[in-house]
Amino acid sequence: MDPTVSISLTVNGVAVSRRVEPRQSLVDFLRYELELTGSHVGCEHGVCGACTVRVDGAIVRGCLMLVVQCDGARVETIEGVAGTGEIFDLQQAFAQENALQCGFCTAGMLLTAQDLLMRRPGATVSEIREALSGNYCRCTGYHAIVEAVRKTAEGRGRA
Amino acid sequence: MSRIEKGVSFIGQSVPRPQTARLLAGRGVFTDDVKLPRMLHVAFVRSPHARARIVSIDAARARAVSGVVAVVTGQEMTPFCSGWIGTLAHFQGMKSAMQRPLAVGKASWQGEPVAAVVAESRAVAEDGVSHVRVTWEPLPVVTDPETALDPSTPVIHPELGDNLAFRLELASGDAERAFRDADLVISETFTMGRHTGVTLEARAILADFDPSERRLTVYHSFQAPNMMQDILARHLNLPEHDVRVICKDVGGSFGIKVHIYPDEMATCALSVMLGRPVKFTADRLESFVSDIHAREHRVKAELALTRDGTMLAMRVDDLTGIGPYSVYPRTSAVEGNQTVRLMPGVYRFRDYAASLRVVFQNKTPMCQYRAVGHPIAFAVMEAMVDRAARELGLDPVAFRRKNYVTAEMYPHTSQTGYFFERLSHEAALDKLLEISDYRTLCAERDALRPRGVYRGLGLCAFIELTTPGPAFYGVGGARISSQDGCTIKLEPTGKLTCMTGVTEQGQGTDTMIAQVVASTVGVRMEDVRVLTGDTMVSPYGGGTWASRGAGIGGEAALQTGKAMRGSILRVAAAMLQCEPDDLDIRLGKIVDALTGEVRLELAELGRVAYFRPDTLPKDFQSELTVTRHYVPRHQGFAFTNGIQLSHVEVDVETGFVRLLKHWCVEDCGRIINPRLVDEQIRGAIVQGIGAALYEHLVYDGAGQLLTGTMMDYLVPMAAEMPDIVVGHVETPTAYAEGGFKGAGEAGTAGAPGAVLNAVNDALAPLGARVTDQPITPEVVLRALGKL
């Protein structure tokens, strides 16, 4: 018996059809089936946020969602979001503030920060810290990340 | 040196890291991102018991799982990979048992790998693991270090005779007499809980053995590729030059990825056995039971003082449990050793006695994690200092000043024999008080107390061991390089390619090296490309650990840059028919040294040297690839120093500690890149704060880890972390031309002590005091008598 299920979705604007195992997580599908390795696996139990991706415009944990749940969905990963220029200012601010060291949390951090900046364009520092608290960074101590997001918010406010 | 100070230098500038562009675009390449043809995946059967005899392993059902390629037990792997013993000769009397990639006969901690399942995917390998039937005979366990040496406690490895790994007695001066003569003696017992690094990228390794050439290529998330190359060669019985270790992007290391792990050795052995690439990526749950743990110290400390606040002497007893094996090849005795040797070094008193016992127990092996020993040493020392000041009614700032090793005392040798070329405790303290506005904060704290708001301020002065020479590991017999090389090649286009033995895990090693090279050769930053972490390409070196990247790698780059500049100028002089001294290189152009007039582009020099050497004098040979090496020879370590201040508010009803702000002033010598140094300090402080307040690997009496998920093991998050202000004093070392020292661990060294002292300052008006870390709400409420 074939245990796989047929799904169709768009990933970074490209239509994708695959047969997948029902147990496969979204992030494993992205990494191992589509070789979109920009989304990272940090804990596989929904705590660290390294696997954050966007599904139908909302950020989700790629390790907690099964790819079969994404049938018909619009999935965006760091490769896609970086490619469209949507977060160019945020990436620049991260580079300028050295808001990343090893870079493993960065994709999730950028997508979470972008989600906050879209929802709350004038987010305060404490709102930024709160919004990022589901994304672990072990290198920076968060100070530079918060600064980068704050400066991006400021820049967008001026624009 | 003149090149650094004169003309255009990038040293001292906050140059952004060029490699962040790809990490920000999701284009980093971490080890698990590497995929090879015919690649297999391994998952491990791990012991569910802390101590048990392996009666039998039945793999028949696992082998029958579709997609499983092999199931291998410890016995089956033994002919392919020899075992190891994690001892160093200079730790006299140290002992440990033979450890193997997969346990043979017995398992000694919960999580020890006992069998490997290799399959077409990680998911199928895990399916296979669930079908391996191990028959266990659980044995009585050893968990509590306090009773590990009791005659009634079982001996984990009978061949060792007892559970003692290492014992050290240190004595300087006459502590006993000083204690007899003291006006005041304070004594206290501190505990620091087990915690671990939690690198966001778990450990990962991909081994690719080619049986036709008998060559092994290993992609490894690791800090010390040459060390791994040497160890793989010796234990897999391959010629060293046929083993290549490549470290691509590494998702955090902090000392976790610098040790030999059984599962990683097993992965490489499996590739040799199967002749196919085999990948192992730890999942988070197995990381918690298999990554090295750190700390778990119980320290009894006594301090002798005079009434006027002069510290006379100290006695220390440190007991630490390291799991069932001392970790290979750096050993698990280093943390205890550094704890008792570092502890008194900030202060001038001479009489010191310390006793250290390092014992085996049935928990995950413990070894070096960021700031090895320092956080324990300075939490204990500085907590004793604050308590002494409080009991004597003295100001904690004035008390420290009175007892510091002062500026005029350098060079200075500590009570335990550490050599300090020049430290800057007083200047660092002055700067800290200034940038934190300490006195205003004290006044505010005092004003708030009558209103039931309990705020506290905690200082923690520290020293940091950086830039270690061969005395650290080499003399003990470990083949871990203390020297590093740097190679610079001038490309025909006039650009520089630089290869270095130190490695990059996010610190900005490659940026720092590029700054030194660009400055010393005389080119622009964008003209230098740095390559790290490939044993077939990089000059031999130790990698990155013990805050050695700038002090050793930076100095090697500086010496190579100088040599490269000389080589380029010799070619230029031959082309321009003048003397090399008449010329200089500035921002990538050969200029007249006196007038600055541009004489030649480097690209033109490259073109002639590589493609038209016939136009140069017949007896002239250009040398446009140069290599230089550096090892610290004049001192064992380049010590640095600093001081931190933590500002907290304690909720005396709930026991929660809120971090208001944190300051650190440190002195790492000449700073190459201020922003990168500040970010190293900040990140390290947060790891220290994690240790102080949140992170705890809690075991039950049966040796079962109770906090083995990220839901239970609390890693600091953005919401509760404070803003962190970093300041500097710069005291360059005179023993190396660049004057660089290390900065990677200073934050972790001092943060736990600062937080501990701040909490105790907040609790002082209530007569409560905590000495256990992490300082959980429960610890605070118990101290307040509310639990």
pLDDT in tens, B705-739: 999 999 999 999 999 999 999 999 999 999 999 99
Q: How far apart are CA B213 and CA B600, in angstroms?
A: 47
Chain A from 107 to 126: CB within 8 A of any B CB: 107, 110
CA distance A8 to chain B (A): 22
**Does residue B159 fall inside a structural domain?**
no
- Cα–Cα nearest to B456, from B653, B693, B651: B651
Residue B162 corresponds to which tokens in the numbers above?
């007892």
Domain end position, chosen among B248, B280, B312: B280
pLDDT tens per residue, range B298-346: 999 999 999 999 999 999 999 999 999 999 999 999 999 999 999 999 9
Burial (0-12, 13-18, 19+ Cβ within 10 Å), A61: buried
pLDDT score recorded for residue B1:
43
**Closest residue, chain A, to B32 (C-alpha):** A37
CB atoms B251 and A103 under 8 Å: yes
Residue B194 lies in a domain: no
Mean pLDDT of B148-154: 98
State how beta strands B106-107 and B52-58 pair: antiparallel
Do B679 and A50 count as a contact with CB atoms less than 8 A apart? no
Q: Are B687 and A138 within 8 A, CB to CB?
A: yes
Do B594 and B643 share a structural domain?
no
Do B70 and B102 fall into the same domain? yes
Contacts of A121 by beta carbon, 8 Å cutoff, 6+ apart = A153, A156, A157
Spatial distance between the Cα atoms of B457 and B438, rounded to a whole number of angstroms? 9
Tokens of B358: 């390092």
User: How far A106 CA sits from the closest chain B CA (Å)?
Assistant: 6
Instruction: Judge whether B739 lies within some domain.
Output: yes
Using an 8 Å CB-CB cutoff, list chain B residues near A25.
none
Beta-ladder partners of B195? B294
pLDDT of residue B5 exceeding 50, the answer is: no
B200 pLDDT exceeds 60?
yes
What pLDDT, on the 0 to 100 scale, is given for residue B7?
A: 54
- Nearest CA among B445, B411, B405, B447 for reference residue B428: B405
Region class of B409: left (phi > 0), else alpha (psi between -120 and 50), else beta: alpha
Q: Is residue B196 part of a domain?
A: no
Of B24, B251, B284, the CB nearest to A104: B251
SS3 at position B450: helix
In a domain, B752, yes or no: yes
Cβ–Cβ below 8 Å for B123 and A98: no
Best mutation target among A104, A129, A137 (most B Cβ atoms within 10 Å) is A104
Of B33, B715, B747, the CB nearest to A37: B33
With H, G, I as helix, E, B as strand and everything else as coil, classify residue B629: strand
The residue type of B271 is S
Where a domain ends, among B607, B630, B653? Answer: B630
Cβ neighbours for B369, distance < 8 A, ≥ 6 positions apart: B195, B196, B197, B254, B255, B256, B292, B293, B294, B295
Residue A101, pLDDT above cutoff 90: yes
DSSP strand pairing (B528-532 vs B184-196): unpaired
- Chain B residues 269-308 with CB within 8 Å of chain A: 281, 283-285
What is the SS3 assignment for B705? strand
| Residue B20 contacts A where some CB pair is shorter than 8 Å | yes
Domain range for B648 is 293-405+425-470+634-783
Interface list for A 46-105 with B (CB within 8 A)? 47-48, 50, 77-79, 82-83, 91, 94-96, 98, 100-105
The alpha-carbon gap from B682 to the nearest alpha carbon of chain A, in Å, equals 6
Structure tokens at B49: 């018991």
> In sequence order, which ranges of B236-356 are alpha helices (DSSP H)?
262-274, 284-290, 334-342
Instruction: Work out the average pLDDT over B765-783.
Output: 98
- Helix boundaries (H) for B589-730: 602-611, 674-689
CATH code of residue B64: 3.90.1170.50
- Shortest alpha-carbon distance between residue B618 and chain A (Å): 49
Mean pLDDT of A92-102: 97
A43 and B28 within 8 Å at the Cβ level: the answer is: no
Please report the pLDDT score of residue B108 as a whole number.
Answer: 98
Same-domain check for residues B263 and B354: no
Per-residue pLDDT reduced to its tens digit, B607-635: 999 999 999 999 999 999 999 999 999 99
Say yes or no for a CB contact (<8 Å) between B711 and A47: yes
- B209 and B265 assigned to the same domain: yes
Q: Is residue B177 part of a domain?
A: no
Flag if A95 and B251 touch (Cβ within 8 Å).
Answer: no
B250/A23 CB distance under 8 A = no
pLDDT at B48 over 70: yes
**What are B489-540's pLDDT values in tens digits?**
999 999 999 999 999 999 999 999 999 999 999 999 999 999 999 999 999 9
Asked if A141 and B709 come within 8 Å (Cβ–Cβ), the reply is: no
> To the nearest 5 percent, what fractions of chain A are helix, strand and coil?
45, 15, 40
When computed from its CA atoms, the radius of gyration of chain A, rounded to whole angstroms, is 16
Contact B506 A102 (CB under 8 A): yes
Report the CATH number that the domain containing residue B435 is assigned in CATH. 3.30.365.10
Same domain membership, residue B646 and residue B616: no
Residues B433 and B458 grouped into a single domain: yes
On the question of pLDDT at B3 being above 80, the answer is: no
Position A1 scores a pLDDT of 76
Same domain membership, residue B556 and residue B463: no
In a domain, B687, yes or no: yes
Q: What is the mean pLDDT of chain B?
A: 97
Query: In sequence order, what are the residues at sequence separation of 6 or more whose Cβ sits closer than 8 angstroms to the Cβ of residue B120?
Result: B40, B41, B67, B69
B506 and B650 fall within a common domain: no
Q: Do B597 and B449 share a structural domain?
A: no
Residue in B21, B200, B747 closest to A136 by CB = B200
B250 vs A102: CB contact, 8 Å cut-off?
Answer: yes
Same domain, B210 and B347: no
Please name the residues between 110 and 149 in chain B that touch chain A, using a CB distance below 8 Å: 121, 123
Tell me the sheet residues that pair with A7: A18
- Domain count within chain B: 3
Confidence band for B19, pLDDT divided at 50, 70 and 90: confident
In this complex, how many residue pairs, one in chain A and one in chain B, have their CB atoms less than 8 Å apart? 178
Q: Are residues B509 and B641 part of one domain?
A: no
Asked if the bond preceding B411 is cis, omega within 30° of 0, the reply is yes
Q: Does A38 touch chain B (CB under 8 A)?
A: yes
Q: Which of B222, B717, B720, B755 would you mutate first to test chain A, the one with the most A CBs within 10 A?
A: B717
pLDDT digits (tens, 9 = 90+) for B411-427: 999 999 999 999 999 99
pLDDT in tens, B551-585: 999 999 999 999 999 999 999 999 999 999 999 99
Question: Does any domain span residue B144?
Answer: no
Pick the residue from chain B with its C-alpha nearest to A39: B26
Same domain, B10 and B66: no
Where is B57: in which H helix or E strand?
A: strand B52-58
Q: Which of A44, A77, A98 sits opposite B679 (nearest CB)?
A: A98
Query: In order of start, what are the domains of chain A with their CATH numbers?
Result: 5-81 (3.10.20.30), 87-158 (1.10.150.120)
Residue ending a domain, among B586, B608, B630, is B630
Chain B contact for A10, CB < 8 A? no
The model's pLDDT over B351-401, given as tens digits with 9 standing for 90+, comes to 999 999 999 999 999 999 999 999 999 999 999 999 999 999 999 999 999
* Average pLDDT along chain A: 97
